[in-house]
C-alpha cells in the first residue's frame, strides 16, 4: 500500500473541512478524487503534507505514519505535489524551477531526471533560461509537473491540473498522466473538476462531498453511476 488515510479530520481555522476521510492508494494506481468546488479536495491533498495537520485519524505513507511530520520531511519521503494554480516560482528561470524540484533528490540522478523532463516537455528545454512567470498557463503547468518529477517521487499528487487550460493542453495533461503511470510506473492521486476525463484515466476513484467520501469504486463504475452522472458529468458541463 502506498498511501492510507484512516478517519482523517482536518480544520481550517474554525471550519471543519474533512470529516473522517478514508482513502487508499495502491502502488502503481491512478486514483481520482472528484467533487464540487469547496468539497475539500485541495484540503485533502494539503492535509497529506500536514497543512493543515490532521486533527484526528492517521496518514500512513509507504508503511510509515507521517501524520505529524513537518511538511518538508513529508515531501522528502517521496510525495510530490503539483498544486492548484501551479505555484511555479515566477521570478526564477525555468531551469532554476526544475533545479529547486531536485533540491532534495540524489544529485547523481539529476542529469537523467532533467533529460526525462525535457524529453516529456521539449518546450521547457527551449525556454530553460526564461523567467517562469513569462510562460503561458499551459507551459507553467508543464513546468509544475516537471518540477514535481525532478524529485523522483513515489507518489505524485496532481491538484486540478487541467483547470483554466486550453483544450490542447488538457488533452496533453491527461496523456501525460497515463504515460507516467504506464511507462514509469508512477503512482498518481489526481484531483479534478473535469470528472469525465479524470474517471476515464483512473483505476479507482472517490467522490468527495462536504468533506466526506460519499462514493468510491473503479473509474468505470463511477462513470456509470447515476449519482455521479447527475452531479458531475451531465449537469456540470465539464464533459
Interface residues toward another protein, by CB under 8 A:
49, 51, 70-72, 75-76, 80-81, 83, 87, 89-92, 96, 99-101, 103-104, 133, 147, 151
Cell numbers describing residue 141: 503547468
Give the nearer residue to another protein in terms of CB position, either 151 or 197: 151
Give the nearer residue to another protein in terms of CB position, either 25 or 46: 46
Least distance between another protein and beta carbon 93 (Å)? 10
Give the nearer residue to another protein in terms of CB position, either 51 or 68: 51
Reported as type and span, the H/E element at residue 210 is none
Least distance between another protein and beta carbon 232 (Å)? 25
Least distance between another protein and beta carbon 189 (Å)? 14
- Residues ≥6 apart with Cβ < 8 Å to 22: 5, 6, 7, 8, 213
Give the nearer residue to another protein in terms of CB position, either 79 or 195: 79
Least distance between another protein and beta carbon 89 (Å)? 5
Least distance between another protein and beta carbon 81 (Å)? 5
E strands of the chain, at which residues?
A: 3-12, 15-25, 30-35, 56-61, 64-65, 79-82, 155-159, 187-192, 204-209, 212-218
Closest Cα partner for 219 from 228, 210, 211?
Answer: 228
Is beta strand 155-159 parallel, antiparallel or unpaired with respect to 212-218? unpaired
Give the nearer residue to another protein in terms of CB position, either 157 or 186: 157
CA-to-CA distance for 162 and 1, rounded, in angstroms? Answer: 27
Amino acid at each position: 500500500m502506498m498511501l492510507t488515510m484512516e478517519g482523517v479530520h482536518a480544520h481550517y481555522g474554525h471550519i471543519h473541512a474533512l470529516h473522517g476521510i478514508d482513502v487508499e492508494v495502491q502502488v502503481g494506481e491512478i486514483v481520482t478524487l472528484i467533487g464540487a468546488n469547496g468539497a475539500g479536495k485541495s484540503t485533502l491533498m494539503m492535509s497529506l503534507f500536514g497543512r493543515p495537520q490532521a486533527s484526528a485519524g492517521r496518514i500512513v505513507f509507504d508503511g510509515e505514519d507521517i501524520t505529524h511530520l513537518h511538511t518538508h520531511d513529508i515531501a522528502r519521503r517521496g510525495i510530490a505535489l503539483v498544486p492548484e494554480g501551479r505555484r511555479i516560482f515566477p521570478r526564477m528561470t525555468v531551469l532554476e524551477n526544475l533545479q529547486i524540484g531536485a533540491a532534495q533528490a540524489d544529485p547523481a540522478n539529476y542529469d537523467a531526471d532533467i533529460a526525462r523532463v525535457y524529453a516529456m516537455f521539449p518546450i521547457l528545454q527551449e525556454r530553460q533560461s526564461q523567467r517562469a512567470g513569462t510562460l503561458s498557463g499551459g507551459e507553467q503547468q508543464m513546468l509544475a509537473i516537471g518540477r514535481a518529477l525532478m524529485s523522483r517521487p513515489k507518489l505524485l499528487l496532481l491538484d486540478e491540473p487541467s483547470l483554466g487550460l486550453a483544450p490542447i493542453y488538457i488533452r496533453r495533461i491527461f496523456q501525460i498522466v497515463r504515460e507516467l503511470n504506464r511507462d514509469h510506473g508512477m503512482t498518481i492521486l489526481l484531483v479534478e473538476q473535469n470528472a469525465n476525463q479524470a474517471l476515464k484515466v483512473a483505476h479507482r476513484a472517490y467522490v468527495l462531498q462536504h468533506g466526506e467520501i460519499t462514493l468510491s469504486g473503479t473509474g468505470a463504475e463511477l462513470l456509470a453511476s447515476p449519482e455521479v452522472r447527475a452531479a458531475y458529468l451531465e449537469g456540470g458541463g465539464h464533459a
